[in-house]
Amino acid sequence: MTDLSLSIEKLKNVGQRNAPRLNRLGIKTLKDLLWHLPSKYEDYSETIPISDVSPGQKVNVQGEVVKITTKKIFPRRLFITDAIVKDMSGAVKAVWFNQPFIENQLPEGAFVSLAGKVKTGKNGVYLASPTYEKISSFQPTTLKHTHGLVPVYPETEGVTSKYLRFLIKPILSDLQLNDPTPESILKKHGFPTLSDAITTVHFPLSENEAKTARERLAFDDLMLFQIKALLERRKLNQLKSVPITFNEPLVKDFISALPFELTGDQKIAVWEILKDLGKKYPMNRLMEGDVGSGKTVVALIAGLEVAASGHQSVFLAPTEVLAYQHFKTISSLLNNSPVKVGLLTGSTAQINGEAISKKGLKERILNNEVGIVIGTHAVIQKDVEFKSLAFLIIDEQHRFGVSQRAHLIKNRGLVPHLLSMTATPIPRTLALTIYGDLDISIIREKPKNRQKIVTKIIGQNQRKSAYQFMREEVKKGKQIFVVCPRIEVSDPKSEIRTSGRQSKMNILWADVKAVEEEYKKLSQEIFPDLKIAMLHGKLKPKEKNRIMQEFKDSWHDILVSTSVIEVGVDVPNATIMAIESADRFGLAQLHQFRGRVGRDQHQSYCLLFSSSSDKTTSQRLKALTECDDGFELAEKDMAIRGPGEFMGTKQSGLPDLAMASLTNVELIKKARLEARLLLKEDPSLNKYPLLRERLAEFQKMTHFE
Ligand code: ADP
Ligand code: MG
């Protein structure tokens, strides 16, 4: 068996010098090397007669070197090596720059295989810097650089594709890998064995063969991910929660007393959540819905039912402003209800709109006199104790609350039901894979009274009239958000070098600069007469809260900010969302920005400033002007940018290859099916020790808390 854990320095032809370079590509073991997959293949499957060579083609030719010379061009210290290569049909010239050693490697009389691009020069056609391999006789299977589908790899300084091919090819001829995936599954889906998949993914005979190999490799990870999710679900189902019995009259009365009618999707979500609450084991549900789709009221209905049955709920918001906003909305919706609502943040404590000391509030929480506690992280501190916490709602937190819930399991081992909410639409295939351990409720339908937000792309020559339009809205008493572009780090290498924290800081600083410049431009040149405020990630949380609250209270006409302004903040009076360099953002993100306006009856607008003339960019922005469904846009965005870019591979914990295959619905279905069948047949995977081992590795690797 091939030892995959073999350290890379131990390989022949690596050594002290190349190991650190390979490390830079994330290659530390033989496994990493074999799983360093080609990004594409150059097609040299056909060796053509030299007489057929024509300009513009990429070709493989083979023949004898009949003449080779190197000239030195003095003023530029340039070496040019010219070779004439001849086969039965004719001869062609090959030219290389600054590689005089080739003359020694390919002496006259040697046979060579060349692959490269054909160009036209003063003296006819020639092969420009072709890749070359010496051949003794015509044996295409032994060629790795110039014949067949030649793999091209992600490279780094000092590690070329040629070097990687040179390392990988010899290993493949004697590859014997333990296959963790059961043979029956491979047979059923026509997948190659692991050894075959790895061999053909590097040196396939056809694109199709490469595709099958890739699918097989992605399948392994997708199936493991599903197994992991199913196991987590099973673990959760063995825990105990307070079952909340469905209280039909209460729910019906509350819904009919609402000042609006729930949308169909809201009703379905309520139903799904109430059903989960009735179970003796914890709910683990994610509710997705565009900004403004009305998630809060859905969560509130569930919280109300929990309170009516004598238990408590916590509603966690990411910021004080949002917590306060929820507190106000929820208090007013519960106006006629005996349920008490508390607000607890770092800076305030209130019950039903009246200030109270924090200590007082905590006492009343402990006595179960407060049914719904809304707050920020302050709520999950150790000193806040509940008499009977049964339900945890988490709004807009990217990690979906698993760790927050862990903080709250202190109630005699009873685990609160968990509902997380997000306005980030996640395409279905992605959600099923990455959040396979969560149940999902989707609110797609918008409340009836919503206006369509008019979305316009603003080119350079429309800028003036756009500013004019903005001014008119302000004159009408409306407010405007201006979002500044993400600054691209000018030297991407410095980002790699100053990894992690430092590079994040650099980006943060760059963003701050962008906001400051935009603020200066707007407040000094364009709208000197208007009240403008700015918001960025470098401000202290307190200051951010203050500015956000001031904007909500209409102290400022325009708020200039980075892309980090809080999701979900409701400023009904804001009617324009203007986004600078809109082309630098993803569709889903632009859609989220847009969701911050149009909260009221007023017609609202989204202005996408873009001076890019790139065709795909303008197509992307155009999609936004035509579509206002976050899920549809998310699907498009993922299709355009690829799942990895869309989601951020690190965040998902899913290996690149599996990530890339997330648009392959069929493959995901297969992985889900097989994971379920496997666990049904053998719940602890005793029969599949290899799979169990890989699962353990996988769990370590994807443990993202
Ligand atoms: P989000 O899903 O972004 O959290 P909210 O829950 O904040 O949205 O709802 C936005 C606004 O829409 C709130 O003022 C809420 O009261 C209102 N709303 C919720 N559901 C409906 C509905 N079915 N019809 C009309 N307005 C609604
Ligand atoms: Mg919300």
Q: What is the mean pLDDT of residues 180-203?
A: 95
Contacts of 133 (CB under 8 A, 6+ apart): 112, 113, 143, 144, 145, 146
Atom from ligand 1 closest to the CA of residue 297: 6
Q: Could you tell me if the CB of 295 is within 6 A of ligand 1?
A: yes
Q: What is the mean pLDDT of residues 666-687?
A: 92
Q: Where are the alpha helices (DSSP H) in 334-369?
A: 358-366
Residue 656: the pLDDT is: 73
d(CA 605, CA 470): 10
* Ligand number with the minimum distance to the CA of 395: 2
In single-letter form, the type of residue at position 574 comes to: A
Residue 598 reports pLDDT greater than 90: no
Of 89-93, 247-251, 452-456, 617-621, where does mean pLDDT reach its minimum? 617-621
Q: What is the mean pLDDT of residues 272-281?
A: 96
Residue 491: the pLDDT is: 42
- Tell me the HSE value of 34 on the side-chain side, using a 13 A CA sphere: 27
Q: How confident is the model at residue 318 (pLDDT cuts 50, 70, 90)?
A: confident
Residue 63: the pLDDT is: 92
> Ligand 2 centroid vs 65 CA: distance in angstroms?
72
Atom from ligand 1 closest to the CA of residue 443: 2
Reported in sequence order, the residue ranges of 497-652 that DSSP labels E, i.e. its strands, are: 532-535, 558-561, 574-579, 605-609
Residue 342 reports pLDDT greater than 60: yes
CA-closest residue to ligand 1 atom 19: 294
Contacts of 428 (CB under 8 A, 6+ apart): none
Q: Could you tell me if the CB of 422 is within 6 A of ligand 1?
A: no
Residue 403 reports pLDDT greater than 80: no
Per residue in 88-124, pLDDT (tens digit) is 999 999 999 999 999 999 999 999 999 999 999 888 8
Q: How confident is the model at residue 182 (pLDDT cuts 50, 70, 90)?
A: very high
- DSSP state, residue 156: B
Q: Could you tell me if the CB of 263 is within 6 A of ligand 1?
A: yes
Pocket probe mutation, ligand 1, options 256, 260, 262, 298, max atoms within 8 Å of Cβ: 260
User: Within its chain, how far is the Cα of 571 from the centroid?
Assistant: 28
Residue 152 reports pLDDT greater than 90: yes
* Ligand number with the minimum distance to the CA of 570: 1
Atom from ligand 1 closest to the CA of residue 291: 3
Residue 136 reports pLDDT greater than 90: no
Instruction: Yes or no: say if 677 and 188 are a contact pair by the CB < 8 Å rule.
Output: no
d(CA 225, CA 151): 28
Q: What is the mean pLDDT of residues 637-657?
A: 69
Residue 412: the pLDDT is: 57
Q: Write the CA distances from 133 to 65, 91, 163, 224, 535, integer angstroms.
A: 12, 17, 13, 41, 59
CA-closest residue to ligand 1 atom 24: 447
Alpha-carbon dihedral sign for residues 362, 408, 545, 554: negative
d(CA 52, CA 326): 73
> Ligand 2 centroid vs 276 CA: distance in angstroms?
21
CATH architecture of 248-278+294-422: 3-Layer(aba) Sandwich (3.40)
Q: Could you tell me if the CB of 343 is within 6 A of ligand 1?
A: no
Residue 703: the pLDDT is: 47
CA-closest residue to ligand 1 atom 4: 295
d(CA 486, CA 365): 43
Residue 567 reports pLDDT greater than 70: no
Place of tokens 């072709």: 130
Alpha-carbon dihedral sign for residues 498, 504, 505, 507: positive
Atom from ligand 1 closest to the CA of residue 333: 16
Pocket probe mutation, ligand 1, options 266, 293, 394, 424, max atoms within 8 Å of Cβ: 293
> Ligand 1 centroid vs 556 CA: distance in angstroms?
25
Residue 701: the pLDDT is: 63
CA-closest residue to ligand 1 atom 12: 294
Task: Please give the mean pLDDT across all residues of the chain.
Answer: 86
> Ligand 1 centroid vs 289 CA: distance in angstroms?
11
Residue 537 reports pLDDT greater than 50: yes
Q: Could you tell me if the CB of 292 is within 6 A of ligand 1?
A: yes
CA-closest residue to ligand 1 atom 23: 262
> Can you spell out the DSSP letters for 629-696?
-HHHHHHHHHHHH-HHHHH-HHHHT--HHHHHGGG-HHHHHHHHHHHHHHHHH-TT-TT-HHHHHHHH
Place of tokens 């899913």: 654
Residue 704: the pLDDT is: 40
Q: How confident is the model at residue 198 (pLDDT cuts 50, 70, 90)?
A: very high
Q: What is the mean pLDDT of residues 560-586?
A: 82
Token pair listed for 639: 């299709």
Q: Could you tell me if the CB of 300 is within 6 A of ligand 1?
A: no
* Ligand number with the minimum distance to the CA of 288: 1
Residue 260 reports pLDDT greater than 90: yes
Pocket probe mutation, ligand 1, options 255, 258, 291, 296, max atoms within 8 Å of Cβ: 296
Q: Could you tell me if the CB of 297 is within 6 A of ligand 1?
A: yes
> Ligand 1 centroid vs 588 CA: distance in angstroms?
20
> Ligand 1 centroid vs 262 CA: distance in angstroms?
9
Instruction: Yes or no: say if 378 and 350 are a contact pair by the CB < 8 Å rule.
Output: no
Atom from ligand 1 closest to the CA of residue 570: 7
Q: Write the CA distances from 27 to 11, 18, 375, 380, integer angstroms.
A: 12, 11, 45, 41
Instruction: Yes or no: say if 176 and 193 are a contact pair by the CB < 8 Å rule.
Output: no
Atom from ligand 1 closest to the CA of residue 448: 24
Residue 495 reports pLDDT greater than 50: no
Residue 502: the pLDDT is: 47
Query: Phi/psi zone of residue 648: left (φ > 0), alpha (ψ -120 to 50 degrees), beta?
Result: left
User: What phi and psi, each to the nearest 5 degrees, are found at residue 610?
Assistant: -155, 130
Residue 151: the pLDDT is: 93
Residue 595: the pLDDT is: 86
The closest alpha carbon to 579, from 555, 599, 559, belongs to 559
* Ligand number with the minimum distance to the CA of 269: 1
Residue 652: the pLDDT is: 59
Highest mean pLDDT among 136-150, 340-354, 430-444: 340-354
Residue 611: the pLDDT is: 82
Residue 1 reports pLDDT greater than 80: yes
Residue 506: the pLDDT is: 54
> Ligand 2 centroid vs 362 CA: distance in angstroms?
25
Residue 472 reports pLDDT greater than 70: yes
Residue 500: the pLDDT is: 44
Q: What is the mean pLDDT of residues 499-517?
A: 63
Residue 501: the pLDDT is: 46
> Ligand 1 centroid vs 355 CA: distance in angstroms?
26
Query: Phi/psi zone of residue 41: left (φ > 0), alpha (ψ -120 to 50 degrees), beta?
Result: beta
454-627: CATH, from 3.40.50.300, 3.90.870.10, 3.40.640.10, 1.20.1260.10 = 3.40.50.300
Q: Could you tell me if the CB of 260 is within 6 A of ligand 1?
A: yes
Residue 648: the pLDDT is: 59
Q: How confident is the model at residue 662 (pLDDT cuts 50, 70, 90)?
A: confident
> Ligand 1 centroid vs 291 CA: distance in angstroms?
9
Residue 50 reports pLDDT greater than 70: yes
> Ligand 1 centroid vs 463 CA: distance in angstroms?
33
Q: How confident is the model at residue 411 (pLDDT cuts 50, 70, 90)?
A: low
Q: How confident is the model at residue 486 (pLDDT cuts 50, 70, 90)?
A: low
Q: Could you tell me if the CB of 569 is within 6 A of ligand 1?
A: no
> Ligand 2 centroid vs 544 CA: distance in angstroms?
19
> Ligand 1 centroid vs 298 CA: distance in angstroms?
9
Q: What is the mean pLDDT of residues 445-463?
A: 89
Q: Could you tell me if the CB of 568 is within 6 A of ligand 1?
A: yes
Q: Could you tell me if the CB of 294 is within 6 A of ligand 1?
A: yes
Instruction: Yes or no: say if 215 and 191 are a contact pair by the CB < 8 Å rule.
Output: yes
Which three-class secondary structure state does DSSP give residue 96?
strand
Alpha-carbon dihedral sign for residues 215, 220, 223, 225: negative
Is 41-152 in CATH node 3.20.10.10? Answer: no
> Ligand 2 centroid vs 441 CA: distance in angstroms?
15
> Ligand 2 centroid vs 325 CA: distance in angstroms?
9
d(CA 655, CA 544): 36
What pTM value is reported for the model? 0.76
Query: Phi/psi zone of residue 13: left (φ > 0), alpha (ψ -120 to 50 degrees), beta?
Result: left
